[in-house]
Amino acid sequence: MASKKNEKKSEGLSSALRVKAGPVDLSSFDPRATTGFSGTKEEGREALAALAPEVSDWQERLFAEGRKGGERSVLLVLQGMDTSGKGGVIRHGAGLMDPQGLRITSFKAPTPAEKRRGFLWRIRQALPAPGQIGIFDRSHYEDVLIARVRNLVAAPVWNRRYDAINEFETELAGAGITVVKCFLHISPEMQKERLQARLDDPTKHWKYNPGDVDERQLWPAYTEAYEAAIEKCNADHAPWHVIPSDRKWYRNWAVTTLLLETLQDLNPEWPKADFDVALEKSRVAES
């Protein structure tokens, strides 16, 4: 089983998209790449739909394990610039699974009460329970991204947070939470196109915020902050993946495949009956 596990890790899409240790230069990653997939857009969509039965089955196994005393869970962390598609991945990828086994949290700017409790407090509140797949739309990484770019806290404060995050994620690994971190990588040109599309479609106006353009002006500073976060917090037990996200269909397929590989790697088994099956069969028959 250990060897099967290693084999899996070294061959899948996870390892192909995994960011290697060392300095990170996002300009060396192509946001239009389709790593690990050779088909067309239409084939990509079909491939995503075809993952549904398998990913649902593994999800249910993990869920069943959690119901019967297992402590393991999965946490998918989604980060990326505005319009990179965090919500789209949840809708089209996580949407293939049973919503009963998901715990999805979308983090907005922290409230004053949340700030007083330290930046990891609200994150801990939202962790997946045993058997669940947790999904973070934004996360504790915002506290070294927007907090750094916008000077929301002093430099020594955000600087200490990288260590705090590493300690926190080590703790999660010890608690049976498998953390999978994905940076949805888009080009500034694609962001412009998507913001324009939102403005052109009245049914998408609610998704648009004039502040998005202000953030967009800070693209280089955000890129630098992402590079620092990915480099400093990229442990084996909580690896970063760069997901090429200019093509929505590839992005959705890739993140869902990562989730599937993670579940396969955990390899949860159907819990054994904790009762006498023959006896229960006769009790039901007589009832």
Instruction: Name which of 221, 145, 134 is nearest 183 in CA terms.
Output: 145
Q: Is residue 273 a contact residue for its own copies (CB under 8 A)?
A: yes
Q: Rounded to an integer, what is the distance from CA 239 to the centroid of its chain?
A: 11
Q: Is residue 82 a contact residue for its own copies (CB under 8 A)?
A: no
What's the min distance (Å) between Cβ of 286 and its own copies? 9
Structure tokens that stand for 213 in this block: 């353009």
Q: Is residue 152 a contact residue for its own copies (CB under 8 A)?
A: no
What's the min distance (Å) between Cβ of 211 and its own copies? 10
Q: Is residue 116 a contact residue for its own copies (CB under 8 A)?
A: no
* Residue nearer to its own copies on the CB measure, 87 or 118: 87
Under a CB-based contact definition with an 8 Å cutoff, are residues 137 and 78 in contact?
Answer: yes
Among 22, 23, 99, 174, binds its own copies (CB under 8 A): 99
Structure tokens that stand for 9 in this block: 């890790």
Q: Is residue 271 a contact residue for its own copies (CB under 8 A)?
A: yes
What's the min distance (Å) between Cβ of 138 and its own copies? 13
What's the min distance (Å) between Cβ of 107 and its own copies? 13
- Taking CB under 8 A as the rule, which mask of x and - marks residues 180-219 in contact with its own copies? ------------x--xx--x--xx-xxxxxx--x--xx--
Among 5, 124, 237, 283, binds its own copies (CB under 8 A): 283
Q: Is residue 106 a contact residue for its own copies (CB under 8 A)?
A: yes
Q: Is residue 68 a contact residue for its own copies (CB under 8 A)?
A: yes
Under a CB-based contact definition with an 8 Å cutoff, are residues 107 and 136 in contact?
Answer: yes
Stretch that binds its own copies, among 8-16, 33-41, 43-51, 60-68 (CB under 8 A): 60-68
Q: Is residue 176 a contact residue for its own copies (CB under 8 A)?
A: no
Under a CB-based contact definition with an 8 Å cutoff, are residues 256 and 96 in contact?
Answer: yes
Q: Is residue 155 a contact residue for its own copies (CB under 8 A)?
A: no
Q: Is the dihedral of CA 45, 51, 53, 56 positive or negative?
A: negative
Structure tokens that stand for 235 in this block: 């442990």
* Residue nearer to its own copies on the CB measure, 192 or 237: 192
Stretch that binds its own copies, among 74-82, 112-120, 159-167, 275-283 (CB under 8 A): 275-283
Q: Is residue 94 a contact residue for its own copies (CB under 8 A)?
A: yes
Task: Calculate the alpha carbon distances from 35 to 66, 89, 124, 242, 254 in Å.
Answer: 33, 17, 33, 11, 9
Q: Is residue 10 a contact residue for its own copies (CB under 8 A)?
A: no
Query: Where do contacts with its own copies occur on this chain (CB under 8 A)?
Result: 64, 67-68, 87, 90-91, 94-95, 97-100, 102, 104, 106, 137, 192, 195-196, 199, 202-203, 205-210, 213, 216-217, 270-273, 275, 277, 280-281, 283-285, 287
